[in-house]
Amino acid sequence: MKAILTVVGNDKVGIIAKVSVKLAEMNINILDISQTIMQNIFTMIMLVDTDKSSYKIEEISGQLEEIAKEMGVEIRLQHEGIFNSMHRI
């Protein structure tokens, strides 16, 4: 499935690196990426494709949650459909 991965939290060195390495390990492809600092908060949005990954969605979220705890940020992985249905008619 195509999913939106969001990382929100205090900026520090290596957030994108950590997340990208973990995604590569799980064979998850990054299709699009945007990152910015909004009101001093680090905000990264990725569009990823999990189809080729052998991990279940719960396992992927679990692995990302470990990084989230380690880096003190919030990471969420959600099916792209939820955003499309909310914002596109």
Partner 1 sequence: MLNRWEILETLHMFSDENLDIRTVTMGISLRDCSGDDINKLCGKIYDKITKKAGKLVSECEKISAEYGIPIINKRISVTPIALVADGCEGDFTKIARTLDRAAKNTGVNFIGGYSALVHKGFTPGDKKLISSIPQALAETERLCSSVNVGSTKAGINMDAVRIMGNIICDASVRTKDKGCIGPAKLVVFCNAVEDNPFMAGAFHGIGEGECVINVGVSGPGVVQNAIKKLGKDAPLNEVAEVIKKTAFKITRMGQLVAGEASKRLGAEFGIVDLSLAPTPAVGDSVAYILEEMGIGTCGTHGTTAALAMLNDAVKKGGIMASSSVGGLSGAFIPVSEDAGMIAAAKCGALSVEKLEAMTSVCSVGLDMIVVPGDTSPEVISAIIADEAAIGMVNCKTTAVRIIPAIGKKVGEVLEFGGLLGSGPIMPLNTFASGDFVNRGGRIPAPLHSLKN
Positions in the binding site for partner 1 (CB under 8 A) = 1, 3-4, 6, 8, 32, 34, 36, 43, 45, 47, 57-58, 61, 74, 76-79, 81-88
> Between 52 and 88, whose beta carbon lies closer to partner 1?
88
Of 27, 30, 2, 12, residue with least CA distance to 68: 12
Q: Decide: 76 and 19 in contact? Cβ < 8 Å.
A: no
> Between 6 and 20, whose beta carbon lies closer to partner 1?
6
For the bound state, the minimum distance from the C-beta of residue 15 to partner 1, rounded and expressed in Å, comes to: 16
Beta strand extents in the chain (DSSP E only)? 2-10, 29-38, 41-49, 73-79
